[in-house]
Structure 1
């Protein structure tokens, strides 16, 4: 069933093309530090994909770090950085099913999840540093992993490849791991290098004392 790979690949190309039309290049123009941070982060995302496992019932499990990328660089740059990770994983035979399905599972859906949660938190919750770290980063990472693995489980069940149950079994532990990784990373970033984080506003989350 070649369409299982080619149809999602078409979706991935369309999403990336739409994201490319409004990439905020002005944030990188003339800023060597921002360019370096984005490059290093993209390389880290690619390296993280090397920590895949096929050991649980044939399931293809990996952390996505999509929430970290979205909070630090915004959804459009995050999609492209994660696409580089999926494409590299596909080249080395480590992508789930293929580039297109892998991009949807580990990039598109988690980024949309992160974006939706962040907007809800900014609208409905008080602007507090702890809420930013615990809700947008930690909870966001956990929910992104949930969405990723549920999508993989649904596709595995639909294709009848026998690994759907393994994704469901692994999901709770992976949710905590992804949440801890996202929350811990963003806590360090906003404390030591807040200028690296596109979604963090000092005036909002660190108001001057009255």
Structure 2
């Protein structure tokens, strides 16, 4: 989902930027900087994943102006780095996409909401729900926190994107009903599968890369 600033109303663009700035200020003030301040390895991993997200976002399948489908991978970033660093990594990737795709800098806020804030919030919310109500083990972590959260996140983000396009008359709702909305459920399984497989691989090979995972809680304790 790559929306151009020329497609959107001024009030929506302002709302997007205010939301972006509020989230950025909150992230900068509350991020656990002490965990990465002197950890060059963690910094390199964060930068590498952010760059990978940028490259993947460049490879989306386009069905027309503003209608682009690609993996978000925000669940992966949230489970690896936490909400604050996931948001900052997303913003770094989105800055690159906005520049190279000439989306217009005014659209940065709205795209950040759709491609970052919404799926990050859903992932974090489902993580909190699982920690409170579900048994903590490997399968819950991979299938609920990764696979299901990623699938729901991309569906909600795309639905909101379609609503924005319809209300801003980027495309008519009739056109979106034929050329956009039917494809949304088809994105849920691939998004969930990719995030779930990557998280499972990291659990097996480098569990210390996941700030939300604990051997004692998810493996040894169950």
TM range (shorter): over 0.9
1:171 equivalent to 2:179? Answer: no
- RMSD over aligned Cα, in angstroms? 1.9
1:198 equivalent to 2:206? Answer: no
Q: CA deviation at 1:132?
A: 0.5
Change (3 A) 1:118 1:23: same
- 1:23 is matched with which residue: 31, 34, 55? 31
Name which structure has the greater RCO, CA cutoff 8 Å, separation 6+.
Answer: 2
Q: CA deviation at 1:135?
A: 0.5
1:37 equivalent to 2:37? Answer: no
1:153 equivalent to 2:162? Answer: yes
- 2:129 is matched with which residue: 112, 120, 126? 120
SS in 1 for 2:191: helix
Deviations 1:133-164 (A, max 9, x none): 00000001101101110110110111122253
* Structure 1 stretch displaced more, 56-65 or 164-173: 56-65
SS in 1 for 2:67: coil
* Structure 1 stretch displaced more, 200-209 or 55-64: 55-64
Q: CA deviation at 1:60?
A: 2.3
What runs of 5+ residues in structure 1 fail to find an aligned partner?
A: none
Deviations 1:16-57 (A, max 9, x none): 111110111111122222111111111111111111232268
Change (3 A) 1:65 1:195: same
* 1:182-197 correspondence to structure 2 within 5 Å: 182-197=195-210
CA distance in 1, matches of 2:221, 2:37: 30
Change (3 A) 1:95 1:66: farther
1:47 equivalent to 2:55? Answer: yes
Q: CA deviation at 1:62?
A: 1.9
Q: TM-score, normalised by structure 1?
A: 0.93
SS in 1 for 2:91: helix
SS in 1 for 2:20: helix
Judge conservation of contact 1:49–1:89 (CA < 8 Å) in 2: yes
What runs of 5+ residues in structure 2 fail to find an aligned partner?
A: 1-8
Judge conservation of contact 1:8–1:101 (CA < 8 Å) in 2: yes
Q: CA deviation at 1:59?
A: 1.4
SS in 2 for 1:5: helix
